[in-house]
């Protein structure tokens, strides 16, 4: 299989790339910066027997997204999986407070990027006769729960969710699979950048709940990739943090015994 993951030189996207490579699938990574692409390709080359390559791509520009598809086809012959992962999250602002430039970043990257990626992938899949498209939803997004200070971000992911429902409705070929991924709240570089903006005393207050909710990238991504590889049902939401799993973690946190401390490895 040949896989394209947008926004994949670090964070969740890179974690997905690693797991596909470990399973013998060729991967195309992308980022807006050439230096990041070069570094990721060099480091990922030793992951497994499969091949990895990459190129720069600004997902807010459709021409860039089409060029990424063309590059993948030129490199590996076809694209079997396309994952719209590139985007940005923030948990620092209520809706009325969020700066204008960040609104543009969230809407352009999270929603327009998914639109352009979906357009390019679906057109390509129709031409080659098959393929699987997945749009990345936020954390444990299910369209029901509200997360404080994430109104605009969550709105873009709601838009991605509705976009995907339309894509499923419009594409009835059983060989074209369309779905969504809810990866859980994963500790990534971007996540840490957000946390550093929080007052240290306030961060210590929320640390216990973060130890319940969060996971490392390498904990979630192997399961996510296995689910994508095995899925034959269009419209499926692949969700790492289910309601049952979440309730189980809260229950375990109340019981005697060792507690999760995800941040010890970072010296926090």
The boundaries of the domain holding residue 26 are 2-186+217-241
Q: Is 65 part of any domain?
A: yes
In the numeric block, which tokens belong to residue 133?
A: 């498209």
CATH number at residue 141: 3.40.50.720
Q: Is 207 part of any domain?
A: no
Q: Is 250 part of any domain?
A: no
What are the residue ranges of helices labelled H in the chain?
A: 11-22, 34-44, 62-76, 100-106, 113-128, 151-170, 189-195, 200-213, 217-230, 243-254
Q: Residues 181, 226: contact at Cβ < 8 Å?
A: no
Question: Residue 205's pLDDT is what?
Answer: 82
Q: How many domains would you assign to the chain?
A: 1
Q: Is 66 part of any domain?
A: yes
Q: Which residues contact 185 (CB under 8 A, 6 or more apart)?
A: 139, 140, 191, 210, 213, 214, 215, 241
Q: Is 254 part of any domain?
A: no
In angstroms, rounded to a whole number, what is the distance separating the alpha carbons of residues 24 and 225? 12
Active-site position among 93, 134, 153, 216? 153
Instruction: Tell me if residue 93 is catalytic.
Output: no
Q: Is 206 part of any domain?
A: no
Q: Each residue's pLDDT tens digit in the chain (268 positions)?
A: 999 999 999 999 999 999 999 999 999 999 999 999 999 999 999 887 899 999 999 999 999 999 999 999 999 999 999 999 998 777 777 889 888 998 988 899 899 999 999 999 999 999 999 999 999 997 555 556 677 767 788 889 989 999 999 999 999 999 999 999 999 888 887 776 776 667 778 778 888 888 888 899 999 999 999 999 999 999 999 999 888 888 898 888 888 888 888 888 876 6
């Amino acid at each position: 299989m040949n896989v394209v993951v947008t926004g994949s030189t670090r964070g969740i996207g890179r974690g997905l790339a690693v797991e596909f490579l470990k399973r013998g699938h060729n991967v195309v990574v992308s980022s807006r910066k050439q230096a990041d692409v070069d570094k990721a390709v060099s480091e990922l080359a030793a992951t497994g027997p499969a091949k990895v390559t990459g190129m720069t791509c600004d997902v807010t520009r459709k021409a860039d997204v089409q060029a990424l598809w063309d590059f993948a086809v030129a490199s590996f012959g076809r694209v079997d999986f396309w994952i719209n992962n590139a985007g940005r999250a923030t948990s620092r602002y209520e809706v009325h407070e969020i700066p204008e430039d960040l609104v543009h970043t969230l809407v352009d990257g999270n929603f327009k990027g998914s639109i352009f990626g979906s357009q390019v992938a679906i057109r390509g899949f129709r031409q080659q006769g098959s393929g699987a498209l997945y749009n990345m939803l936020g954390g444990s997004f299910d369209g029901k729960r509200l997360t404080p200070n994430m109104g605009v971000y969550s709105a873009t992911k709601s838009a991605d969710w509705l976009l995907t429902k339309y894509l499923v409705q419009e594409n009835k070929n059983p060989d074209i699979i369309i779905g969504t991924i809810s990866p859980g709240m994963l500790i990534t570089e971007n996540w840490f950048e957000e946390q550093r903006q929080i007052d240290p005393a306030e961060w210590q207050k929320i640390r216990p709940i973060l130890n319940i909710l969060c996971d490392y990238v390498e904990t979630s991504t192997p399961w996510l990739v296995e689910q994508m590889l095995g899925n034959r049902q269009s419209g499926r939401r692949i969700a790492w943090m289910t309601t049952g799993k979440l309730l189980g973690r809260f229950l375990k946190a109340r019981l005697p015994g060792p507690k999760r401390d995800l941040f010890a490895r970072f010296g926090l």
